[in-house]
């Protein structure tokens, strides 16, 4: 989702894209939009429980814990980036030799 979203954003802003070996031409944007729509819907639905939890006393056993694990992982990644990652990360653009 992130890579397709960034590509679509660059195209919407009219920024030039990197060189590529082949292209889908006019269908590339349409295919990216379809893929992005599918991924957004599937990402949102992946956190829903399998069955409704209406007053069920055993809700914890039936809950889809993926949303909690995803949130904790994002939180830990954000904390790591703020504490250490932003100081040691070297973006790939800096590794490219200028001619």
pTM of the model: 0.68
CA distances from 13 to 9, 23, 84, 86 (A): 6, 19, 32, 27
**Residue 95: predicted pLDDT:** 64
Chunked into runs of 10 residues, the chain (99 residues) has average pLDDT values of 93 87 87 96 89 76 87 96 90 70
Q: What is the residue-wise DSSP string for 16-76?
A: PPPP-S---TTHHHHHHHHHHHHHHHHHHHTTS-SS--SS-TTHHHHS-THHHHHHHHHHH
- Determine the Cα–Cα distance for residues 99 and 87; give it in Å rounded to an integer: 27
Instruction: List CB contacts of 65: < 8 A, sequence separation 6 or more.
Output: none
Instruction: List CB contacts of 98: < 8 A, sequence separation 6 or more.
Output: none
């Amino acid at each position: 989702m992130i890579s397709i979203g960034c590509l679509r954003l660059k195209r919407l802003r009219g920024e030039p894209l990197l060189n590529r070996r082949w292209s889908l031409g006019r269908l590339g944007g349409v295919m990216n939009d379809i893929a992005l729509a599918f991924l957004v819907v599937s990402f949102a639905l992946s956190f829903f429980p399998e069955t409704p939890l209406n007053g069920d006393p055993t809700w914890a056993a039936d809950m889809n814990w993926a949303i909690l694990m995803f949130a904790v992982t994002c939180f830990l990644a954000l904390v790591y980036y703020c504490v250490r990652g932003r100081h040691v990360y070297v973006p790939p653009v800096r590794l490219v030799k200028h001619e």
